[in-house]
Chains A and B, each alone.
Chain A
Amino acid sequence: MPVNLLDEPELDSEAKQATWTLNFGPQHPATHTTLRLILELDGERIVKATPHIGYLHSGFEKLGEHLNYNQYVTIVDRKNYISPPMNEVAWHHTVEKLLGVELTPRCQYIRVIIGELGRISDHLLCTGAAALDLGAFTAFLYAFNLREQIYDVYEEMSGYRFHPGYTRVGGVLYDFNDRVLDRIKRVLTSFVKVYSDMSKLLFRNRIFLDRMRGVGKLSKADAIGMSCTGPVARASGVHVDLRKDAPYLAYPEFDFEVPYCEEGDCWARFMVRMEEMKQSVRIIEQAMAKLPSGPVNLPIAEKLNIPDKATTYNSMEGLIQHFELVMPNRGFESPVDEVYAAVEGPNGELGYYLVADGTEFGWRVRTRPPSFIHFSVFPHIIKNHMLADIVAVLGSLSIIAAELDR
């Protein structure tokens, strides 16, 4: 019999008088961005938390109806700005499913690599910031330093450091060159040291352990009922990973494991993320070793992707294709139909419900954002905890405000 978290016991009038209200946010040093919580407190114990979101609402979904499938990649980057490549992979995965095209093997491997780099980058920030919020500053610096090296990879592969905008319909912007591969290797080498440093600093740290263990417990039944996915669900024992269970791209070709826990508290979520980073490194290592040669983009006969400069300037077909895709009243055709596709993002199922109207503009671009759903769980798992536990629970859910509001 699953416990219903949502039935809150009514306070008697005497207890109600004793509570007081505290505004946590909209900006708080412990939250990455704008989150506002209205807390009803009994002393320092949280009786009720009411999240208010919408401070960053930028109309990303409305913009999706006015930008074409290639242009919109710059917007999806900004949804989860902690791991932009994964958003790009998710978006173009959906568009390609709509169009019914299959990527070249090299492109699939490249997308796996950048997606997993994004996952490492996201988990580094999440675990590092969890440590920072609970007073362990050094671990955060180590984590952030490695993120810089991942940004170096983005910079080398696309020219942009923070929002690469690297994928295209049917391919990617440029092929990997040797310098990109070198920088990825450097990330993989540094990761070993960073992981070992972080584990030495945190895994046996009494303060850190005591503030994470048993805090913000989420049972397995509630995790399923509340639509949780990703590390949050896996820390509660829901053993589901779309990379394994609904494979996409080249994931079936890699050997990796899906870490999970049963406890469902902040510590479990932290440890699942730490373990997932190691698995991501395993995937990248295999992908680098087996990286197929060949084109990254679909051939121009597909009439989907913008041809590279050499093809554009040196062949008639390339020139025509470039013109057709760039001119505002041209572009490719899509089926008049709709499709839902999801990938395993760093925080969970990252899906798009895409309604197409025959043009290269989406009719409806609905994002299924993991943070949004995990934040709706927050008021239920924070109940009866102390005020100081908020930062531990918020950090362990990895809430990204831009993804909340879209």
Chain B
Amino acid sequence: MSAAPTTEPAVPSAASEAILTQLNAAIADAAPCVTRFRDNIRIFVAPDRLIEVLTALKEKCGCAFLSELGGADYLKYPGARKGPRFEVHYVLRNLDTMGFVVVKAGVDDPDPTLPSVYGLWPGCDWMEREVFDMYGIRFEGHPDLRRILMPDEFVAFPLRKDYPLRGRGERHNFPRLTREES
């Protein structure tokens, strides 16, 4: 069975395409790998060029707004995907033209590390902490990289694909606080 589209799939708006054009004008060879799907434009960048590209997007292409930041684990992802295990996506929006682009950076085991974008958008604070908490991706330069949703004594990263749905029994080994010692 297949989902046959009834209408033409949405295409990236002119405003989103303009951001890409401006980015290519701002830094040469910034986006060697760009894909378009529906109305999304995805720009894949290498981790070491991430800050350079994001700075250019913010300062030269008017993408002043970091809409969303999150991670994904592609362990055993079907299809012909080759590349790093984890990817972190940054959705940037130009608030004047309302164009938006998705910037993706991949990192791999055993020590997934990306530079933090805290210097560009302080709003990434909790979102980067959440990616760290759920996937174990560290963000270098983040001022306060702690677990945010899971307790501090939790050792695993629950949204990784090799983490079982029912957990590994961590809950049973949490220290129990009584009323006297709390």
Contact = CB atoms under 8 A, between A and B. Distances in A.
Interface in B68-121: 68, 70-74, 77-79, 89, 91, 95, 98, 100, 102, 121
A101 B5 contact: yes
Contact of B3 (A53, A226, A332, A373): A332
A406 B7 CA distance: 34
A213 to B, nearest CB: 26
B6 A373 contact: no
A353 B68 contact: yes
Interface string A80-120: 00000000000000000111111000000000000000000
Given A224-B65, A227-B67, A342-B67, A324 B151 contact: no
B40 A357 contact: no
Given A245-B98, A333-B1, A340 B78 contact: no
Interface in A233-262: 238, 240, 245-246
Contacts, number: 144
Given A363-B72, A376-B123, A224 B64 contact: yes
Given A238-B95, A340-B68, A303 B38 contact: no
B127 interface: yes
Contacts of A66: 165
Contact of A340 (B5, B40, B151): B40
A405 B91 CA distance: 21
A358 interface: yes
A101 B10 CA distance: 9
Interface string B7-42: 101100000000000000000000000000111101
A228 B125 CA distance: 13
Nearest to A372: B126
A99 B123 contact: no
B37 A227 contact: no
A5 interface: yes
Contact of A101 (B6, B65, B71, B72): B6
Contacts of B126: 372-373, 375-376
A366 interface: yes
A338 B67 contact: no
Contacts of B5: 99-101
A101 B122 contact: no
A102 B10 CA distance: 10
B51 interface: no
A324 B9 contact: no
A53 B127 CA distance: 13
A5 B122 CA distance: 9
B122 A368 contact: no
Interface string A322-355: 0010000011111111111110000001010101
A167 B154 CA distance: 36
B121 A298 contact: no
A6 interface: yes
User: Which 6 residue pairs spanning A and B have beta carbons closest together?
Assistant: A227-B123, A100-B5, A226-B123, A376-B126, A100-B9, A366-B70
